[in-house]
Every structure is written in C-alpha cells, then in structure tokens.
A and B are shown apart, each in its own frame.
Chain A
Amino acid sequence: MCAEVIETDKKIVYMDHAATTYVAPEVMEAMLPYFSVKFGNPSSVCGIGQENKTKIDEARAKVAVAINAEPNEIYFTGGGSESDNWVLKGIAFANIRKGKHIITTVVEHHAILHAAEWLQSQGFEVTCLPVDQYGMVSPLDVEKAIRPDTILISVMYANNEVGTIQPIAEIGAIARAHGIYFHTDAVQAIGHVPIDVKAEHIDLLSLSGHKFYGPKGVGALYVRRGVRIHNLIHGGAQERRHRAGTENVPGIVGLGAAIERAVAVIPEESVRLAALRDYMISELLKLPGSHLNGHPTERLPNNVNITFEYIEGESILLHLDTFGICASTGSACNSASFESSHVLTAMGVPHEIAHGSVRFTLGEWNTETDVSYVLEKLPEIIHKLRSLSPLTPEELR
C-alpha cells in the first residue's frame, strides 16, 4: 500500500516498523561481500568456504549474547514463521510419548495459530488462552490450563498488533516448575526490550532479522540445551545437523550485525521511542471517538494502536498514504482478508470498532517532526471520513 520509502520529491514518513524495517546501512555494508567475493559454501573445504563458516559462528555468538544464551543453542532459520513452525511441530512430535497437549494464546501470530491448528488435525490438543481487554495473558490462566500431558506452552513476548508485552518471566517460572517446555515468539520484542532467556526461564525463542534493521528471509531459533525437539527441515548437515539447507551467509552475517546493534541501543532508543509514542497517544486520544488499543503501560516502546470510531482503517491508510505517511491496520498479514483483527476481537473490541484501528509503529528514523506531521494530518482525514459514514453521530459530523 505504501509508496517506496526512498523517494526524493515526496515527504515519506514511515511508521510501519512492526511490518518490516529497512536494512541499516552498516548492516548492509557488512553483508555485501558475502553476495560476491566471499560467496563460498561454508560446508566446502576450500578457504573461502571455511572463512564463511567462521563468520556464521561469529553471528551465532552475537545472537546468543543478545538474549543471554549459549552460541550452541542458536540455530539460523529462514525467518520467524519457520522458527515458530519448527517449535510447534518439532516439540509436538518429539514429545508425543509424554503427551499431546499444547497451550498457547488467542493473540499469537498466525505462524503459531495456524501451525497449532494443523497439529490439532494431526491429533494434538491445543488450549488457546484468552486475554484481557489490554491483550494480556494471565499467568494464573496458564497454570490452570496445565495438564499432565502438556508438552509445550507458547506465549508471544509482545504482540505485533497492539504491542502488549506479556508477563514472560512469570509464565516461564510456571512452565519450569511444571517441567514443561516454554517457547516465546519474540519477533516483535527483540531490539525493543531486553530479553534474558536464562532469567526468564525461556526454553525456546523465535526471532526474525527484518524487524530490527536486518535483512528479510533470515531468522533464528534458540533451543535451550537438553530440549527434545525434532528437525523441521531435513537434508544436509548444516546447523549441527538440525536445520538443513546451504546457509544464507549474507543474511546470517546481516542478522548478527543487526541484533548486536539493536540490542546495544535499547537503553537509549527505547526511552526515546516511548516518549514519542506517549506524546502521539496522548494527542490522538484528544480526538473525540478515539480509543487506545493494547496495554497503557506494558507495551512496546514503538507501538501506537488507535481506533477511530465510525470509520474504517483501510480508508484512513489510503488518505495517510497520499500524505506520504505509511502505517497499517492491525497486522499487514491481514490486509488481504476481510476479517477484523483476531487480536482486537479477542480483546473484546466490537467488529465495527476493530475495523477502525490504525497501527503506527515507530523506528529509528522517526523524529518529533514526523509525529507532529502525522498529528497535523490525521484530524482532517478522520473528519472527512466521518462525514461520509452513516454511523457518525451528528455532533461529530
């Protein structure tokens, strides 16, 4: 929907960083040699291949440091969806003797929900926990859902649509106490909040490069040593025999460079973004008929998700796009479907209100000027669309 980010004659304000980010210049620079001169296959004996094997291990160490894991607990994948699929299917089939019950939540990404649905069709049982009005999962509900045959608990670290951060450490402690594997999809959280897999009792964690200024098509899965999991991609002996396929060397190098840089700036950048976020939210809530979606405080520092009553999200986005402002309605994955967001619906938001939600996700290049620009344009857009809508009460026309 959005115009190209790099345009010279038009102002572009990109506020859709949860959908994807650009590759940071220094990350791209680190990657470039591995497309051409350093093209060697890490599995081959010759020098240019072996050198790349070393680079992959360097990237692995950077990912490990970023989440306080050990390098040999990190496996590179083709992205967040693959990591999520690997966890669900790999844990399910490797632990089938213990049981067939999996606990997850209604607000997970479709990579978890649809993989879980598929597992149900294969005879597994899935409990999808509800969330409260802020999109928060209750650790008490997690504990109550545990059965003797539960083999996995999967709860996302932070929600992609509304930005709500889950009580991961508490849920991790419950899972550990019951001897059940605990997975978190941290795709949206990495680079925004500090994560410590040891302190938070996380056994498996999914992440994806293109959410923190790294490349698309590369991700990683952390698997705590000792966890029983089957492979998802069978074939060659790459990734210590756990994930076949010739390594995406430029992607992996880029992921390593990006995560190192993203985690290093969390202390300053999360504070800067949270201030912009809070300013934007407080200004937007001054508009009549607007509501904040997600938790007021326990939310990603870059997430602003607001509903404007009586109007529909896509039409807001089209108008924003004409001003060069790029945002999204809920998850970009939903733009091809009619259904209102499964996340907002799970939070008890009525359909017609869920359809009027717009998500702005801030990033490194966004400034106060960008926020002011959006705040200047939005009221006229909302007014115009409300004047078209049969649902608008007279006083708001």
Chain B
Amino acid sequence: MYSEKVMDHFMNPRNVGTIEDANGVGEEGNPSCGDIMKMYLMIENDIIVDAKFQTFGCGAAIASSSMATEMIKGKTLEEAWQLSNKAVAEALDGLPAIKMHCSVLAEETIHKAINDYLIKQGRESWGEPASCSSCDHDCDVCCE
C-alpha cells in the first residue's frame, strides 16, 4: 500500500517535536478526517533554519509531515511557499490516490506557518491558503 520511502519516514519520522521559541507556527487539519498537522518554524533572515512537526494521523500524514519538514529546512520563505503537495508526494515515491490529501495538508500547514511568521513580523501575509478544515474529500486533489 505504501512505498518504502513512506514507511521509512513513518517508522523513523524526522523533525518530530516542537520548537519552543518558534517564530512561525501553523496548524491545519480536521479531526473528522482523522488528521491534524502542526508545524513549528525557526526563521532567520527569511530562511527556515529549523522545522519541526507534530501530527495526529495515518501513515501517509506522518510521512508527509516528516518529508515536508526535511524539504523546507534551509530554504527561503519563497522556496518553502512554492513547495507543492505533488513534490512532497513525489519525494515519498508516491502516495495512494486516496492519501494525496495528506500531502495537501503538509503544503497548507507550511503556508499557515509562514503566514504566521509574516504577520508576527508586521508584514502582510501571502494570501489565504485554501483551508483543509472544511475538507469534504471531493476536491481535485483527493480525486486525482
């Protein structure tokens, strides 16, 4: 059902935990869908120097969080913002179609954390991410 990469990131997730003095925090998800993702970013000079996560969810949700935090560490805010759910899924050697939702959750959580940072900095946020909180699993991503 899952690739070896997914299982590796699920069994040995990278960047688990919280960052006490994180300057960007984002949470996304919906308990009725069975997944909630929370990311903590430490940003210096618009570069993500550290990222950690906590996730309540299935194997794909945990693996997506792990991979996404790996992929944004050391990146600029712009680069991290551009990280697409597809890139996360590809880096995991693919996700089952019904689990693509989990990679979207990772993308949205990053967006929320970046916006949290920008707002705290007194800057303008980069647009409202499409919220997964009202997910009905009927969007293009879930049905692809």
B57 near A: Cβ within 8 Å? yes
Determine the chain A residues whose CB is within 8 A of the CB of B32 once the complex forms.
340, 351-352
Is the CB–CB distance between A311 and B33 below 8 Å?
no
Determine the chain B residues whose CB is within 8 A of the CB of A322 once the complex forms.
11
> Beyond A318-B10, A355-B31, is A388–B55 a contact (Cβ under 8 Å)?
yes
Q: How far, in Å, is A213 (CB) from chain B's closest CB?
A: 26
Determine the chain B residues whose CB is within 8 A of the CB of A388 once the complex forms.
13, 16, 54-56, 62
**Of all chain B residues, which has the CB nearest A314?**
B58
Q: Given the complex of chains A and B, what is the CA–CA distance between A351 and B35 in angstroms? A: 11
Q: Given the complex of chains A and B, what is the CA–CA distance between A1 and B56 in angstroms? A: 20
Is the CB–CB distance between B56 and A338 below 8 Å?
no
- A312 contact from B7, B27, B35, B98, Cβ within 8 A: B35
> Beyond A315-B10, A322-B11, A338-B98, is A390–B56 a contact (Cβ under 8 Å)?
yes
B59 near A: Cβ within 8 Å? yes
B122 near A: Cβ within 8 Å? no
B127 near A: Cβ within 8 Å? no
Is the CB–CB distance between A315 and B98 below 8 Å?
no
Interface size class of B (residues with CB under 8 A): 20 to 34
A375 near B: Cβ within 8 Å? no
- Interface residues on chain A, number (Cβ under 8 Å): 23
Is the CB–CB distance between B137 and A391 below 8 Å?
no
A303-344: contact bitstring with B at CB < 8 Å (1 yes, 0 no)? 000000011111100110010000000000000111010000
Q: Which residues of B in the span 14-51 have a Cβ within 8 Å of any Cβ on A?
A: 16, 27, 31-38
- B101 contact from A311, A338, A340, A387, Cβ within 8 A: A338
Determine the chain B residues whose CB is within 8 A of the CB of A355 once the complex forms.
31, 34
Grouping DSSP codes into helix (H, G, I), strand (E, B) and loop, the B interface class, with mixed when no group exceeds half, is: mixed
Q: Given the complex of chains A and B, what is the CA–CA distance between A389 and B56 in angstroms? A: 5
Q: How far, in Å, is A104 (CB) from chain B's closest CB?
A: 24
Determine the chain B residues whose CB is within 8 A of the CB of A387 once the complex forms.
16
Q: How far, in Å, is A380 (CB) from chain B's closest CB?
A: 13
Is the CB–CB distance between A310 and B1 below 8 Å?
no
**Of all chain B residues, which has the CB nearest A355?**
B34
Determine the chain B residues whose CB is within 8 A of the CB of A319 once the complex forms.
11
Q: Which residues of B in the span 111-138 have a Cβ within 8 Å of any Cβ on A?
A: 137
Is the CB–CB distance between A340 and B62 below 8 Å?
no
Is the CB–CB distance between A338 and B34 below 8 Å?
yes
Q: Given the complex of chains A and B, what is the CA–CA distance between A313 and B34 in angstroms? A: 9
Determine the chain A residues whose CB is within 8 A of the CB of B61 once the complex forms.
312, 315
Q: Given the complex of chains A and B, what is the CA–CA distance between A338 and B96 in angstroms? A: 13
> Beyond A314-B59, A315-B59, A318-B10, is A390–B38 a contact (Cβ under 8 Å)?
yes
Determine the chain A residues whose CB is within 8 A of the CB of B98 once the complex forms.
336-338
Q: Given the complex of chains A and B, what is the CA–CA distance between A389 and B27 in angstroms? A: 12
Determine the chain A residues whose CB is within 8 A of the CB of B11 once the complex forms.
319, 322
Q: Given the complex of chains A and B, what is the CA–CA distance between A69 and B138 in angstroms? A: 47
Question: Could you jot down 30 A-B contacts, CB within 8 Å?
Answer: A310-B56, A311-B56, A312-B61, A313-B34, A314-B34, A314-B58, A315-B10, A315-B59, A315-B61, A318-B59, A336-B98, A337-B98, A338-B34, A338-B98, A338-B101, A338-B137, A340-B34, A351-B34, A352-B31, A352-B34, A352-B56, A355-B31, A355-B34, A387-B16, A388-B13, A388-B16, A389-B54, A389-B56, A390-B38, A390-B55
- 15 A-B pairs besides A315-B58, A387-B16, A388-B62 with CB distance below 8 A are A1-B1, A311-B56, A312-B56, A312-B61, A314-B58, A315-B10, A315-B57, A315-B59, A315-B62, A318-B2, A338-B101, A351-B31, A351-B34, A352-B34, A390-B54
